[in-house]
Chain A
Amino acid sequence: MNCVTCIDYIIIGVMILSAVFAVEWRDLLAAAVGMAAVSLFASILFLILQAPDVAMTEAAIGAALSGAILIFAIKRTQRFETEEEERPGWWIRW
């Protein structure tokens, strides 16, 4: 394994990891940052895949603006995912 593809693998791995974190973190602000990180790593991958236009767009729109909008939305709602109490029937809760 030469280390050019090595970098690809590392970036992909980190991207997947940040995606997992974005999904699993209960703090939504952190999750939003994780999502932005996913976009950022994706944009690096776009660059590696010879798509500079897309990389720029993804970095500007996908990472920065989406993240910002998400953070604004979180500010206007609630920051933490709440632990749900088990009220309705199993079918609904499921």
Chain B
Amino acid sequence: MSVPNISAFYFGAISLILIGLYAVLVKKNILKMLIGLSIMETGVNLLLISIGYISGKSAPILSEGIEPNQAVDPIPQALVLTAIVIGVATTAMTLSAAIVLYKHYGTLNVEEIRRLRG
């Protein structure tokens, strides 16, 4: 087993993903879990952008004399735009579900939110 040689950006992205997942796995507060999910999504976005980055090249906006071969990969950026919006949509949905849940159960502790089981 050798330590994979990855860049700091990849490392940061993976760390965010894992920290987010850690929150989901360990924290008992629903909102905390949702924060974890949100952090995970940020991490994934960062990962995508890092994959599209090309050292020494500039943003893919081809004005002011930037030639096509000087730009970084635009596709991941387009994808991440989509992914961010999807992320906020999910967050909004989860939070409103959490609000409804709190209204009915009076708690946000996952161990007590167990009416549906078996």
Interface residues, chain A, with chain B CB atoms under 8 Å away: 5, 8-9, 12, 15-16, 19-20, 22-23, 28, 31-32, 34-35, 38-39, 42, 45-46, 49-54, 57-58, 61-62, 65-66, 69-70, 72-74, 76-78, 81-82, 84, 87-88, 92-93
Contact = CB atoms under 8 A, between A and B. Distances in A.
Interface of B: 8-9, 11-12, 15-16, 19-20, 22-23, 27-29, 31-32, 34-36, 38-39, 42, 45-46, 49-50, 52-53, 57-61, 71-72, 76-77, 80-81, 84-85, 87-88, 91-92, 95-96, 98-99, 102, 107-109, 111, 114
Given A38-B42, A77-B102, 7 more contacts: A12-B12, A35-B38, A45-B12, A46-B80, A49-B49, A51-B80, A70-B35
A81 B49 contact: no
Contacts of A16: 12, 15-16, 19
Contacts of A46: 46, 49, 80
Contacts of A54: 45, 49, 77, 80-81, 84
Interchain residue pairs A-B with the least CB separation, the first 7: A12-B12, A73-B95, A77-B102, A23-B23, A81-B29, A50-B59, A49-B53
A71 to B, nearest CB: 10
Main secondary structure of the interface of B (DSSP, over half): helix
B46 A32 contact: no
